[in-house]
Amino acid sequence: MAKYKYQIGTFNLFDYAGVERHLEKMAAKGWQFDSIGSFFWKYKKIEPATLKYSVTYIPEVSDFDPEPLEKQKEIEAYCEEAGWKKVGSWMQMQIFCSDNPEAVPIETDEELRLEVIGKSMKKNLLFSHGLLMAVFLMNMFTTFSTAKRNWVEFLSDSHRLWNTGVWMWGILILLIDLAFYFGWMHKAKKAVKEGLGCPAPKGYRYWTLVAWGVLAVLILGLIASYTSGMLWFMVVYLTGIFFIIFGVRKVQMKLKKKGFSKEGNWAVTMILCVVLSLLFVGGAVAAVMVFDISLTGKKEPAGTILLNGKEWKIYQDTLPLYVEDFAETGYSGSSREAREQSSFLVGYGDYEEYLFEGQEVTSVKVANTYEVITVKAKFLYDFLLEAFYEREFRHSDEAEKQKTEYRAVYEAESGTMYRQYYEGLPVVHDWLVLTENKIVSMHLYLDDLTEEQMKKIVDKFAE
């Protein structure tokens, strides 16, 4: 049977009552609290026992102070006289244990308890949550600033959507954490004024489990969105980051135990973090460049042709529409290239078809280039159509926009085909097809299309 047991901590620093009850329940099950590490709470196997735990706070304590502080020594000596033995600490929280069920409580002044909890929370939760919130909001601002330039590309990219979900959920976790704390503090102050004890923050542990559970799902979705090359890179990258954090933390705790000053410990820790992070990130980037590691996956060409004495790659990807579907080409060869991405909201494809004659040619004809936006979430259709228009004319001033329009030139139950007009005259090669769930922007090599050709194009995209 295992001698030790580890659990992920689901408590907040202010939840002293929850910590006390939890540790007492664990002791009754035969697991005595041992210590709190960087990621887990550790317990050692004992015979089931009735133990009493009590939590107090020392706001002056930090992870960089040499231990123990004089105040810690004084409190520990006082508690020992009262029958309490210190068994661990977590930031400003000091955890004591007694096998005497009648042991006198360490904290008897509830107003003072609230005061020291408030100071401890300002030093940790409020400061750390504030920094994280700033980082998360800055990331979201950058994300949505990029998305506004091309909503289609953003909404059809599964990786970006999952990544955005992780950041947004992180912001929600921080906000709810803060709401729990301020709500608890408000109730606690009211209870103390009425001569009652501080209440336990109801539901916080359940919320923590939900928060971590949803975060795990989002991270799994993010991982699933990676290409195989990117996945292996991220596994190595995150493993490296984990070991850097773990190693720096070990150094920090050793310096703390050896009595290094607070300032010296902080300086060494920060320098190690920066230097190791730069070396690791630089090494990862260098490895990708030197060994030509593909993170997005390389597409191999189907063959090559000689164009004016130079070798050009050709592709034979599957396209939703080929020139031969609606027109005679007169060419024997073609290169067909597709670049596609898709999410549960939107699919996006960028397609090109080039025509040539023979293997050694002097010219290649651009036959057909088009973009297909497949709207899977129907409520996004009008938004994406508007975003398409905005993108089309983003480099035009208002006067130019007024001169350009799309006019319906073919309408059927399956969809509508539009032609672009500028100052009342048709633009030779630019067309737009709208079906129930697709928005297709086309640049065709033909100067004009017959009604029969337009029908074939619309029907093809409506399939």
**Residues 221-247: tens digit of each pLDDT:** 888 887 766 777 777 777 887 788 888
Question: pLDDT band for position 361 (50/70/90)?
Answer: low
| pLDDT higher than 90, residue 440 | yes
pLDDT at 429: 86
Phi, psi of 392, deg, nearest 5: -60, -35
Q: Tell me the β-bridge partners of 334.
A: 355
Give the highest mean pLDDT range of 11-25, 27-41, 80-94, 335-349.
335-349
**Residues 80-134: tens digit of each pLDDT:** 888 899 888 888 888 999 988 888 888 778 888 888 888 888 887 788 888 888 8
pLDDT at 367: 75
| pLDDT higher than 80, residue 370 | yes
Distance from C-alpha of 187 to C-alpha of 284, rounded to nearest angstrom: 50
pLDDT at 431: 92
Please tell me whether the peptide bond between 68 and the residue prior to it is cis, using omega within 30 degrees of 0: yes
pLDDT at 268: 83
Nearest C-alpha neighbor of 57 from the set 10, 103, 119: 119
What is the DSSP annotation of 228-265?
Answer: HHHHHHHHHHHHHHHHHHHHHHHHHHHHHHTT--HHHH
> Mean of the pLDDT values across residues 72-80?
82
| pLDDT higher than 90, residue 434 | yes
Q: Where are the alpha helices (DSSP H) in 258-339?
A: 262-290
Quote the percentage of the chain above a pLDDT of 90: 25
| pLDDT higher than 90, residue 463 | no
| pLDDT higher than 70, residue 395 | no
Question: pLDDT band for position 352 (50/70/90)?
Answer: very high
Q: Which helix (H) or strand (E) holds 184?
A: helix 158-193
> Mean of the pLDDT values across residues 371-400?
87
- Listed in order, strand segments (DSSP E) in 66-193 are 85-90, 93-98
| pLDDT higher than 70, residue 48 | yes
| pLDDT higher than 80, residue 452 | yes
Name, in order, each residue with C-beta under 8 angstroms of 316's C-beta and a sequence gap of 6 or more.
302, 303, 335, 336
pLDDT at 374: 96
Question: pLDDT band for position 360 (50/70/90)?
Answer: low
Burial class of residue 93 in the structure, from the number of CB atoms within 10 Å of its CB (0-12 exposed, 13-18 middle, 19+ buried): buried
pLDDT at 442: 92
| pLDDT higher than 90, residue 73 | no
pLDDT at 458: 94
Q: What tokens were used for 84?
A: 């309490």
**Residues 289-324: tens digit of each pLDDT:** 776 666 566 778 888 888 777 888 889 999 999 988
Q: What tokens were used for 139?
A: 């990331």
Write down the residue that tokens 């992780």 correspond to: 166
| pLDDT higher than 90, residue 456 | yes
Nearest C-alpha neighbor of 269 from the set 247, 296, 242: 247
Name, in order, each residue with C-beta under 8 angstroms of 70's C-beta and a sequence gap of 6 or more.
none
pLDDT at 151: 92
Quote the percentage of the chain above a pLDDT of 70: 94
Buried b (16+ CB within 10 A) or exposed e, 40-64: ebebeeeeeeebbbbbbbbbebeeb
Across the chain, mean pLDDT equals 85
Q: Which position has the higher pLDDT, 429 or 371?
A: 371
Question: pLDDT band for position 68 (50/70/90)?
Answer: low
For CA atoms 269, 272, 275, 280, the dihedral sign is negative
pLDDT at 378: 93
Write down the residue that tokens 């004809």 correspond to: 365
> Mean of the pLDDT values across residues 448-455?
91
Least confident interval from 256-265, 327-336, 415-424: 256-265
Provide the residue ranges of all domains of the chain, joining segments of one domain with +: 4-98, 110-225, 231-294, 303-462
Give the highest mean pLDDT range of 47-56, 190-199, 202-211, 360-369.
47-56
